[in-house]
Amino acid sequence: MLGLQGKVAFVFGVASEDSIAWGICKSLAEAGVTLYLGYQKRFMSRVFKLKDELDAIDGFYPLDVIEDETTAEFFSAFAKDHPGVKADILIHAIGFAPRGCFDRPVIFVEDQDLNTALTVSAHSLQRCVRHALPYLNPNSSTITLTYAASTRFVPSYGVMSIAKASLESWTRELACHLGPEGHRINAISSGPIATLAAGGIPGFSKILDHVEANSPLRRNVNPNDIGGCAVWLASQLSSGVTGQIIHVDAGYSVTMVPESIM
Ligand code: NAD
């Protein structure tokens, strides 16, 4: 019913076994998808430790989205090893903001830090999709990862809120641009999950505690929850869905006043 058996995915954003992208890899593998991972060199040893855990992984190639050329290198390396192979799914689970984005109030964040955060965490979606297009089959599905701070204030998230707002805008723009050719692009808005990237956000563990106590499901989500939604978005079951921001957050985003204050 899913129709994912034999499909191929590019997965960007695995840094450790805690990565949301790793949860997505496991779910896609279970659905029969062959995976090609793009990893950042600084996480190479961590990523290579995972290599033998999923038979579905058929290749790893370095990827750094900070520059156009380093993004293109992933695809040329992939094409050299797998001539003629095309993918049906692109997972963009990439986010980064330099320390300077969190060390000071947003109004004092320096241009260089702001630019890095926006380039890597938001504009890289455009870059990845553009370079991927020659290697994507018709009716492909691209999935990116966002956070509800794109539309609401979350203390200490700072510049990443602005990056996520931009990423969501890219999701809509790219969905409208590529929709006529059948390609779909959606974003999963994940609830907080303890990962390497999340560890850089001051007070993150307090956010986890708050969401667990106050979300409708009274728990935090985990990478498997995100993986389940990613499988749906990758499959033909979601064939009419594009340009959307889909919350997988134990329902937290529908709440406003926490019940705990009553
Ligand atoms: P993670 O640290 O496991 O993954 C972040 C990934 O981004 C890493 O694999 C890293 O290599 C990659 N990355 C950073 N800079 C890069 C660059 N220049 N080039 C290529 N790759 C680069 O953390 P995660 O929480 O799994 O993050 C995945 C995505 O999920 C991010 O977009 C993050 O903002 C988003 N997200 C996370 C949470 C959460 O609470 N963890 C919530 C909502 C959304």
Tally the C-alpha atoms within 13 A of residue 91's C-alpha that lie toward its C-beta. Answer: 34
Residue 194 belongs to a domain: yes
Residue 100 belongs to a domain: yes
What's the pLDDT at 176?
98
Phi/psi at 105 (5° precision): -60, 150
Residue nearest to atom 22 of ligand 1 (CA): 94
Closest CA to 190 of 162, 226, 232, 141: 226
What's the pLDDT at 200?
86
Report the atom number in ligand 1 closest to the C-alpha of 13.
Answer: 9
Number of domain units in the chain = 1
Residue 260 belongs to a domain: no
Q: Which residues pair with 34 in a beta bridge?
A: 8
Residue 3 belongs to a domain: no
| Helix residue ranges, H only, the chain | 20-30, 44-50, 68-81, 111-118, 124-132, 159-178, 204-214, 223-234
Residue 207 belongs to a domain: yes
Residue nearest to atom 23 of ligand 1 (CA): 197
If you search the block for the tokens 């961590």, which residue do you land on? Answer: 46
User: Ligand 1 in contact with 198 (CB < 6 A)?
Assistant: yes
Q: How far apart are CA 45 and CA 43, in angstroms?
A: 6
Report the atom number in ligand 1 closest to the C-alpha of 20.
Answer: 26
Question: Ligand 1 centroid to 197 CA: how many Å?
Answer: 6
What's the pLDDT at 1?
78
Residue 2 belongs to a domain: no
Domain CATH number, residue 33:
3.40.50.720
What's the pLDDT at 213?
95
User: Ligand 1 in contact with 136 (CB < 6 A)?
Assistant: no
Q: How far apart are CA 2 and CA 29, in angstroms?
A: 13
Question: Ligand 1 centroid to 140 CA: how many Å?
Answer: 22
Report the atom number in ligand 1 closest to the C-alpha of 167.
Answer: 32
User: Ligand 1 in contact with 159 (CB < 6 A)?
Assistant: no
What's the pLDDT at 133?
98
Average pLDDT for runs of 10 along the chain of length 262:
94 98 98 98 95 94 97 98 98 97 95 98 98 98 98 95 98 98 98 95 94 97 98 98 98 92 88
Burial of 156 (0-12, 13-18, 19+ CB in 10 A): middle
Q: Show which residues are catalytic.
A: 147, 157
Report the atom number in ligand 1 closest to the C-alpha of 198.
Answer: 41
Q: Which domain holds residue 21?
A: 8-250
The angle that helices 124-132 and 159-178 make with each other, rounded to 10 degrees, is: 30
Residue nearest to atom 29 of ligand 1 (CA): 93
Residue 137 belongs to a domain: yes
User: Ligand 1 in contact with 35 (CB < 6 A)?
Assistant: no
Burial of 138 (0-12, 13-18, 19+ CB in 10 A): exposed
What's the pLDDT at 259?
82
